[in-house]
Amino acid sequence: MFCLFHFLQCLWRKINSLGLRKKEFIKKSKCLIFNIKLLAFIKVEDIEDSYNCIKNSDIFDDNKYTLFFNYFEKNWINKDTYKWNYFDIISLNQNSNNEVYHNDFDIQLLLTNNA
């Protein structure tokens, strides 16, 4: 299991290496990292669909974001997803099925609003 901090650090380093922390990209880059971070908290079987929703968003239409998505697919999606996914761990700590439902709903709402 990867530490969430180090997972995000890897993503930010890639964002930085692609020049996506510059003033004209930073808002979109923060939005991207936020949405990618949410993937760590949803069911493993839902990650690919949610990821494609993020990837196909009009917000990230710059070619540099395509390079980031290629990196993410190669290094995180196509590898052992369970190593960076916290869904099962988080689910064990939630109080009820109702709380699980609302957390899933909130994540889907964020993805929909940012698409």
Q: pLDDT tens digits for 3-29? A: 888 889 999 999 999 999 999 999 999
Closest CA to 41 of 94, 78, 79: 94
DSSP 14-55: HHHHTTTTSTTTHHHHHHHHHHHHHHTTS-HHHHHHHHHHHH
CB-based contacts of 53, cutoff 8 Å, min separation 6: 111, 112, 115
Q: Which two tokens stand for residue 46?
A: 């839902």
Rounded to an integer, what distance in angstroms lies between the CA atom of residue 39 and that of residue 44? 8
pLDDT(105) > 70 = no
Report the pLDDT value the prediction gives residue 111, as an integer from 0 to 100: 63
pLDDT(94) > 60 = no
Report the pLDDT value the prediction gives residue 4, as an integer from 0 to 100: 83
pLDDT(114) > 70 = no
Rounded to an integer, what distance in angstroms lies between the CA atom of residue 41 and that of residue 108? 11
Q: Which two tokens stand for residue 30?
A: 């923060």
Q: pLDDT tens digits for 73-93? A: 999 988 778 788 888 775 545
Domain ranges of the chain: 4-114
